[in-house]
């Protein structure tokens, strides 16, 4: 399968959920998506910028085998996000310290220039210059998919609108889909995957109705962050092996539900056991 390069943030997240102790964990859309895609069999390389605090990330024994060759070091601390959820699992506030991620756009443009043979996924988040990255991908004819994050989606969907028709797949949640429809129509590219938390997910295809996929019940939800990225990474891996959209979405929904039942990747990582 064609290697997929995931452009986005890898971060240190502080997660606050009602009724739970705060959790300090590894995060970032690029990490969650790349991990899920790799577990589903896709050759994947995160293109991210991190500080010395995450320099040992490639040695983390909890992560699957990833191509770390595009992980770029920077002198600043890694991006850090404090994310607060309400009882329904909706993000209510995000406090950000971008740190090393301030160099992500320059790194991403260099990666695109050096690897025009790859497929790309773009996690559209601040501080990435999304129009510059999408313009570079379109100019080179690189296949790409992308996703958004609700706190920044109103600005970034509007900014990305001129290039959305060139995407292979767009991933949005229900609220983001309303914004997407406003700026680019209900089906701006060949596939739009729409999720809605624990409610049914669906693939929107031009002129073709698809059966929604209902996530299985999870007895104990241990984490929320990264579920959408897990769904996207799994979906991309199965579409890359030519599974139909409905079958790929079914497997992706299952993987996202399993993700919420797993213990988060707390930081720092435990040491690798001696061989």
Q: Find all residues with CB under 8 Å of 118, minimum gap 6, and list them.
A: 2, 3, 4, 5, 45, 142
Predicted confidence (pLDDT) at residue 89 exceeds the cutoff of 90: no
The rounded mean pLDDT for the chain is 93
CATH topology of domain 4-261: 3.40.1190
What is the per-residue burial (b if ≥16 Cβ within 10 Å, else e) of 20-33? eeebebbbbbbbbb
Contact 83, 225 (CB under 8 A): yes
- What's the rounded Cα separation, in Å, for the pair 121 and 255? 19
The whole-number average pLDDT for the span 232-261 is 97
The whole model's pTM is what? 0.93
Question: What is the SS3 string spanning the chain?
Answer: CCCEEEECCCEEEEEECCCCCCEEEEECHHHHHHHHHHHCCCCEEEEEEECHHHCCHHHCCCCCCCCCCCEEECCCCCEEEEEEECCCCCEEEEEEECHHHHHHHHHHHHHHHHCCCCEEEEEECCCCCHHHHHHHHHHHCCCEEEEECCCCHHHHHHHHHHHHHHCCEEEEEHHHHHHHHHHHCCCCCCEEEEEECCEEEEEEECCECCCCECCCCCCCCCCCCCHHHHHHHHHHHHHHCCCCHHHHHHHHHHHHHHHHHCCCCECCCCCCCCC
Query: Given this model, what pLDDT does residue 275 score?
Result: 53
The whole-number average pLDDT for the span 236-256 is 97
The structure tokens listed for 261 are: 């039942």
For residues 168 and 197, the model is more confident at 168
The whole-number average pLDDT for the span 170-185 is 96
Domain boundaries, given as residue ranges, for the chain: 4-261
Q: List beta partners, residue 123.
A: 147
Residue pLDDT, tens place only, 127-172? 999 999 999 999 999 999 999 998 899 999 999 999 999 999 999 9
The whole-number average pLDDT for the span 248-257 is 97
Q: What are phi and psi of 33, to 5 degrees?
A: -70, -45
Query: In terms of Cα–Cα distance, which of 142, 186, 148, 201 is closest to 167?
Result: 142
């Amino acid at each position: 399968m064609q290697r997929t390069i995931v452009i986005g943030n890898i971060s240190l997240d502080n997660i606050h959920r009602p009724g739970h102790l705060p959790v300090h964990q590894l995060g970032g859309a690029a990490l969650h998506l790349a991990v899920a895609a790799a577990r589903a069999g896709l050759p994947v390389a995160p293109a991210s910028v991190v500080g010395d605090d995450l320099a040992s990330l490639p040695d983390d024994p909890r992560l699957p085998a990833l191509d770390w060759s595009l992980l770029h070091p920077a002198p600043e601390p890694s991006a850090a996000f404090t994310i607060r959820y309400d009882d329904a699992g909706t993000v209510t506030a995000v406090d950000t310290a971008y740190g090393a991620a301030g160099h992500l756009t320059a790194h991403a443009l260099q990666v695109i220039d050096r690897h025009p043979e790859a497929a790309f996924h773009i996690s559209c988040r601040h501080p990435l210059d999304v129009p510059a990255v999408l313009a570079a991908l379109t100019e080179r004819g690189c296949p790409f998919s992308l996703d958004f994050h609700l706190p920044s989606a109103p600005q970034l969907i509007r900014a990305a609108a001129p290039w959305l028709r060139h995407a292979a797949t767009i991933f949005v949640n229900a609220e983001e889909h309303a914004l997407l429809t406003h700026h680019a129509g209900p089906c701006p590219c060949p596939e739009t995957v729409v999720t809605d938390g624990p409610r049914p997910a669906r693939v929107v295809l031009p002129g073709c109705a698809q059966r929604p996929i209902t996530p299985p019940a999870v007895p104990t939800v241990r984490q929320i962050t990264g579920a959408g990225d897990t769904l996207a990474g799994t979906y991309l891996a199965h579409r890359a092996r030519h599974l139909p959209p409905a079958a790929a979405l079914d497997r992706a929904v299952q993987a996202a539900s399993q993700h919420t039942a797993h213990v988060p990747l707390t930081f720092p990582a435990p040491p690798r056991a001696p061989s």
